[in-house]
Amino acid sequence: MTVADISCPSCGAVGEVRKVGIGQYRCGDCGDEFSAETVLG
């Protein structure tokens, strides 16, 4: 599943991220994986 409009905490890109697990996402630009808690603070 692809989700848009999420800012990557590593590279700062705002665009498509891919959901890779429950609460886990991967940036389409840099490939970094991060959790929903990281983005939501």
pLDDT at res. 11: 95
Question: Do residues 17 and 27 touch, judged by C-beta distance below 8 A?
Answer: yes
Q: What are the E-state strand segments in the chain?
A: 2-7, 14-21, 24-27, 33-35
* CA dist., res. 19 & res. 13, Å (int): 16
pLDDT at res. 4: 67
pLDDT at res. 39: 81
Q: What is the pLDDT of residues 1-41, one digit of tens each?
A: 777 678 899 999 988 889 999 989 999 999 999 998 988 77
Whether the model pTM is above 0.95: no
